[in-house]
Structure 1
Amino acid sequence: MGLTTSLTNAVSGLRVNQDSLDILSRNIANSGTPGYHKQANTIVDYNSQSSSYARTVGATRAFNTSLQTYYTRQVSDTANSGIQASYLDRLQGFLGKPGTAGSLDTLFTGLQNSLQGIATSPDDYTARSQAVTSAQNMVETLNRLSGTIQGMRQETEGQIASDVHNLNGMLNSLSEVNGRMLDLGMTGGARAALLDQRDRLVSSVAEMIDVRADYRPDGTVALMTRSGVGLLDNGVSTFSFESAGSLSPNATFDATATDSEVGKMMLTTPSGLTIDLVAHGVLQGGELGGLITLRDKTLVEAQAQLDEIASNLALAFSTNQKAGSATPAGNPPGLDLDLTSMQPGNDILLTYSVGGVDKRVRIVNTKDAFDYTDATGQKVIGVDLSNGSAARDALQSKVPGLRFDSTGPTNLRVLDDATNPANAVVIKSGVSRTTSTGVRDAGLGFDLFVDQGNAGFTNNLDTDPPQKQGFAARISINSEVLADNRLMVQSTTGGTLGDDGRAKHVIEQLKNMKFVSGGDPISSSGQFQLSGSLGEMISQVVGFQGSTVNAALTKRDDRQLTLDTIVDQMDSEYGVNVDEEMARLMELQNAYAANARVVSIVKELLDALFAAT
């Protein structure tokens, strides 16, 4: 090997050492920088007929495509569960834990106890006043919780708007990074830094919305949602959000754009195609997906449960039940049901047996015809009962086996059917349930809890939206009772204050009157069904919300644990180990010293050679 070759080899070694030291210094300087991927020097051997030496061709950056893809998905899922858990944990704080002061079950127990006080001493002003106060506490709590839920829904809209703005900024930044990655004159260090920026942006986008990243060989990245909608490729899609303003309990999402009363989130592709992300179910993860779920499902269901409590509370106080009377002699056996006081939303309960097997039917007074079986197995039929003769014909086809008749517009007659002795149909009971129209002279039931404008609550289904929807936000105490608490016991004008009949009637209603939430279980699929007495339904709501929060917190913790595990693995593959880098520094120092020594010796030999000539 000649002196020139030795000098060339040593100088190339010094250059490689210098490039390696530059990379090593970057690694150590960025050892604590989030998202930094450690780099390594790429060295190749160059061989010719006269010499062989090493040279660097740039820095390589630690990167694992499958690990990065898994990380991106988990970031999206963790953000989704995290935002939902955060809101639900706050909601549980507002609802209160079972048995605590201010919780619905505690307030309801207080109302029941105050009614017992009236039943014991109906002429006691203090007892009546306490009952009115307990009723007011229930109303104020329902109003407050309803307002809180709508406030949280409004908050989700504000956060959606902010996230959409940030998401557009991140996608535009990522597009710029893609453009710069195509610069072939970029240094290896600059390219590696740009790739770090790319991955940080992809992770930030994944926190907002579920994405799938396609990492290209040239360093660019394409993004699409898990449902296949493109976000970034040959152009950038743009998100937009049109807020609905203030949200009320009646402002709900509808897949039909003209009927939806909540904010709309749209996506416009580079080609100009506009997609309604919510209506088309594009969002499957990320913080935005969690916010949409909260606004349109979770918090709406919580409001619906409060509405159930409010409506059933009003009905338990205002409902008068009248049992059907046996048909007159000379008529087929059956019952005559009085429709005189029937209002929209009032109903009839029938119990009958077919071949010895008991069946139940609830007939609701409404112009909206429907027919389904509720969560308790009871058949529910919607029929206009304003005219008994017309109702007779409508019911005959909906309840096979029973025979319906009528003696006039205010009568509905239900008859046994013994035509088939082996499978005889026998009417066992029939009750018409009507809502009291006032506080006196309208039965033991009275409308203590009323709608806006002191209007009675009948659970009218013919209004748009139905009267029950949002009732928890509107429920109030009848102004007449607030002005005169004697009405808590006086069911008739001039009645004695010592009459405990009204108080006992309401106590019995609260104990035994049964309710079922929602409508057709098929149309209410996915929603928790409440059933039972009012007290049981309140307990179910408090228990359901508690279990929902616990499930959300557990899901968040599980996903966070999975994400932490992936991050640890990424730190192992991508992160800088300072001890290893320092050991590498010693190696480079030794190699540098050896190459420098060779250069020095070659210089001495060349000097001696030139001196000799």
Structure 2
Amino acid sequence: MGLTTSLTNAVSGLRVNQDSLALVSKNIANSGTPGYHRQSLNVVDYNTQSSTYARSIGANRAFNSSLQTYYNRQVSDTANSSIQASYLDRMQGFLGKPGSTGSLDTLFSDLQNALQGIATSPDDYTSRSNAVASAQTMAETLNRLSSTIQGMRQETEGQIAADVHNINGMLNSLAEVNNRMLDLGMTDSARASLLDQRDRLVGSVAELIDVRADYRGDGTVALMTRSGVGLLDNGVSTFKFESAGSLSANSVFDPLSSETKVGKLTLTTPSGLTIDLVTQGVLQGGELGGLVTLRDKTLVEAQDQLDEIASGLALAFSTVKNPGVAASDGVPVTPATGFDLDLSNLRPGNDLLFSYSENGVSRQVRVVNSTDPVDYLDASGQRVIGIDLSGEESLPPGDKTAAAAAAAAALNAKFSGLTISSTGAGNLRILDDGAVGNTDVQSATVRSTSTGLQGAGLAFNLFVDQGNAAYTNDLDGDPPQKQGFAARISVNSAVVANNKLMVQHEVGGTLGDADRANYVIDQLANMSFTSGGNPAANADKFQLTGKLGEVIGQVIGFQGSTINAALTKADDRQLTLDTISDQMQTEYGVNLDEEMARLMELQNAYSANARVVSVVKELLDALLGAV
């Protein structure tokens, strides 16, 4: 090997060392920079007839597309779980733990104990006052919890609006990065910095909405949601959020866009197509998906459960039970038996219960006074049927009789072994199949709402709706009366002003009468409730069933388990994300020990190459001097 070849090799080595030293220095300087990917020099050996030498042709940036894709997905899932866990953890503080001071089960127990105090000493003012105070505390707690839940739903709308603003900005920044990536005259260092920025932006977008990234060979990236809706490719899609303003318990999502009462989240593609992201189920992860789930499902279900408790409280105090009177078809040959029921006091939402056996199998039926023709088995196995039983109050007597007959005929059509008819206005007769013996009517009771505080029986309207209106669980309103009732429930102002009404069910009655207190105590202990409507239509909702105390326990238990599950899920996903981040740090990150060791190697190599150049120079000087 000649001197010229040695010099050429040494000089090429110096150049490669200089480039490597510059990259190592850059790695060390950016070791703490978030999203920085370690770089290494790309060195190529060139062979000629006379020599072999090395040249650097750019830098290699550490990148693993599979790992990056997995990371983006986990970022989205973790953000989704974290935002839900954050809200639910706050709600747990408001609900309280079972048995703790101020929790619903404790307050309900306090109310029962206060009523027991009245039953023991109905003439004691303090006992009656304590009962009224317990009822007020129960109502006020339901009001407060409902207000808290709606406040949290309002927060989700504000956060959705902020996220929409951020994601639009990040998508536009990514579009700029894509355009700059197409500049072929860009330096390797600038290109690597842009790629780092690209990956940071994609990760930030994934935190807000679930995305799939297509990393292309030219450094650009295309984004779409997991459901296949394009976000960034040959143009940028634009998110838009139209807030609904103040939310209440009646502000619920409706698949029909024109009927929804919550904010609308839409996406407009570069071609001008507008997609409703919530209605069309596009959101499958990310913070936006978690916020929408909280606003439209999780927090709404919590409100529904509070409404069930409020409804149960009101009905337990105000429900009047009128058992049916034994009836017969009067035909000696086929003496069918059953009951006559007085429907004259039924109001919208009131019901009648009857049970019968069919071929030895006992069946329970609840007929709700409603214009909604529902017919289903509820969570307790009881058949629920909607029939308009009351008719219009303004109808003349003849028309009321016809209306009663029409209602009976509609109900009769739903049973094959029973005969259901009407003997006049406000009457319903239920009979078995007589001598055939396949069906037997076992019991029948009409449940109406008390119309007054005195002179209307033992039941009374202690808990009332807005404006001291009676609560009947009317299903025909828009919205139904139960919806949002927890926010409106209050104690009857007349009872607050005169606690004698807690025991004095007749005008001028004695204060020593414990019948009303005992009636309500029995109602609270034995009246059964079932929530959720048709289980088939509400398969994603938890069905409450049982006595009121059991329903309250189920609500607290369900919310507790839901919150714990959300917290656990968030922790698990965060742990997975941390594991992936550690793996990315191993592949992408800068190891200072390794870089410093590499720096020393390069310094030694640089010194060696410099020494070769120096020796060659000395030899050339000597040769030229000899000449």
**Would you say the 8 A contact 1:388–1:409 is kept in 2?**
yes
Q: Could you report, residue by residue, the CA deviation over 1:565-588 in whole angstroms, capped at 9, with x for unpaired residues? A: 111111111111111111111211
Amino acid at match of 2:374: F
Aligned-pair distance for 1:492?
1.1
Amino acid at match of 1:162: A
Superposition deviation, residue 612 in structure 1:
2.0
Once the two structures are overlaid, the 10-residue window that deviates more, 340-349 or 392-401, is 392-401
Corresponding residue for residue 359 of structure 2:
355
Aligned mates of 2:181, 2:116 — CA distance in 1: 78
Tell me, yes or no, if structure 1 residue 427 matches structure 2 residue 441: yes
Residue identity matched to 1:383:
I
Mapped pair 1:304 → 2:304: yes
Superposed CA offset, 1:25-81 (max 9, x none):
011111122211111000001122332210000010111111111010000000000
Q: Give the equivalent residue in structure 2 for 1:268.
A: 268
- Aligned pairs for 1:71-110 (under 5 A) are 71-110=71-110
**Mapping of residues 284-433 of structure 1, within 5 Å:** 284-327=284-327, 330=330, 332-386=336-390, 387-418=403-434, 420-421=436-437, 424-433=438-447
- In structure 1, the residue matched to 2:452 is 438
Checking the alignment, whether the CA contact within 8 Å between 2:328 and 2:338 is kept in structure 1 is no
Query: Using the alignment, how far apart are the partners of 2:160 and 2:27 within structure 1?
Result: 38
Counterpart amino acid of 2:563? V
Distance in 1 of aligned mates of 2:452 and 2:81:
49
- Alignment partners' CA distance in 2, 1:330 and 1:199: 86
The aligned residue for residue 536 of structure 1 is: 550
Q: What is the rounded CA distance, in whole Å, between the counterparts of 2:188 and 2:421 in structure 1?
A: 91
Query: For the Cα contact (< 8 Å) 1:237–1:267, is it kept in 2?
Result: yes
- Secondary structure of 1:327's counterpart equals strand
After TM superposition, the structure 1 stretch with the greater mean CA deviation from structure 2, 142-151 or 170-179, is 170-179
Secondary structure of 1:385's aligned partner: coil
User: Helix, strand or coil: the match of 2:385?
Assistant: strand
1:93-492 residue pairs with structure 2 within 5 A? 93-327=93-327, 330=330, 332-386=336-390, 387-418=403-434, 420-421=436-437, 424-492=438-506
Deviation at 1:183, TM superposition (A): 1.3
1:10 aligns with 2:15: no
Measure how far apart 1:388 and its partner are: 2.8
| Residue matched to 1:34 | 34
Q: Which runs of 5+ in 2 are unaligned?
A: 391-402
Offset at residue 474 of structure 1 (A): 0.6
Partner of 2:585: 571
Q: Distance in 2 between matches of 1:224 and 1:355?
A: 59
Write the distance in 1 (CA, Å) between the matches of 2:444 and 2:545: 21
Deviation digits for residues 305-359 of structure 1, max 9, x if unmatched?
Answer: 0000001100000001011010168363110111111110000000110122110
Q: Is the 8 A contact 1:339 1:388 kept in 2?
A: no
After TM superposition, the score normalised by the length of structure 2 is 0.96
* Paired amino acid for 1:250: N
Shift of 1:10: 0.8
Q: CA separation in 2, counterparts of 1:419 and 1:236?
A: 77
Q: Does 1:546 align with 2:550?
A: no
CA distance in 1, matches of 2:259, 2:537: 17
Secondary structure of the structure 2 residue equivalent to 1:93: helix
Report the TM-score, using the length of structure 1 for normalisation: 0.98
What's the counterpart of residue 624 of structure 2? 610
- How many Å separate the matches in 1 of 2:127 and 2:568? 45
Deviating runs (4+, > 4 A) in structure 1?
A: none
Structure 1 distance, partners of 2:144, 2:477, is 24
Separation (CA, whole Å) in 2 of partners of 1:93 and 1:366 = 38
> Shift of residue 455 of structure 1?
0.5
**Cα distance in 2 between the residues matched to 1:60 and 1:333:** 92
| Inter-partner Cα distance in structure 1 for 2:581 and 2:532 | 44
Amino acid at match of 1:243: S
The alpha carbon displacement at 1:400 in A equals 2.5
RMSD: 1.0
Give the Cα–Cα distance (whole angstroms) in 2 for the partners of residues 93 and 513 of structure 1: 30
Look up the SS of the partner of 2:54 in the other structure.
Answer: strand
Say if 2:587 is the partner of 1:587: no
Match of 2:394 in 1: none
C-alpha deviation, 1:173, in angstroms? 0.8
Structure 1 segments unaligned to the other structure (5+ residues): none
Classify the secondary structure of the residue corresponding to 1:359.
strand
- Tell me which amino acid in the other structure corresponds to 1:396: N
Q: Residue deviations 1:217-259, cap 9 Å, x none?
A: 0111110000000001111111110000000100000111110
User: What CA distance in whole angstroms lies between the structure 2 residues aligned with 1:113 and 1:410?
Assistant: 39
Higher mean C-alpha deviation, range 478-487 or range 602-611? 602-611
Offset of residue 419 of structure 1: 5.2
